[in-house]
Amino acid sequence: MLKLYHFWSSTCSKKVRIALAEKGLDWESHHIDLGPKQENTEPWYVKLNPNGVVPTLDHDGRIIIESNVIIEYLDDVFPDVRLRPEDAYERAQMRIWLDRTEHVVHRNINMISFNRRFLPRFAEKSDAEKEAVINRMPNPEKRHEMLRRLRAGVSVDDEARAEAAIAGVMDMMEMQFGRTPWLAGEEFSLADICITPFVERFGANELTVLIDWRSRPGVGDWWRRIQSRPSYDEGMNFPNPAA
Applying CB under 6 A, the residues found at the interface with ligand GSH are 10-12, 34, 40, 53-55, 66-68, 102, 137
Q: In terms of CB distance, is 93 or 113 closer to ligand GSH?
A: 113
Residue 153 falls in which region: left (phi positive, over 0), alpha (psi -120 to 50) or beta: left
CB of 41 to ligand GSH, least distance (A): 7
CB of 162 to ligand GSH, least distance (A): 15
**Closest-approach residue to ligand GSH (CB):** 53
CB of 214 to ligand GSH, least distance (A): 29
Q: In terms of CB distance, is 9 or 215 closer to ligand GSH?
A: 9
Q: In terms of CB distance, is 86 or 127 closer to ligand GSH?
A: 127
Q: Is 116 exposed, middle or buried (0-12, 13-18, 19+ CB in 10 A)?
A: middle
> What are the angstrom distances between the C-alpha of 155 and each of 112, 120, 146?
10, 16, 14
Q: In terms of CB distance, is 105 or 170 closer to ligand GSH?
A: 105
Across 193-229, b (16+ Cβ under 10 Å) vs e yields bbbbbbbbbbeebebeebbeeeebebbeebbeebeeb
CB of 181 to ligand GSH, least distance (A): 26
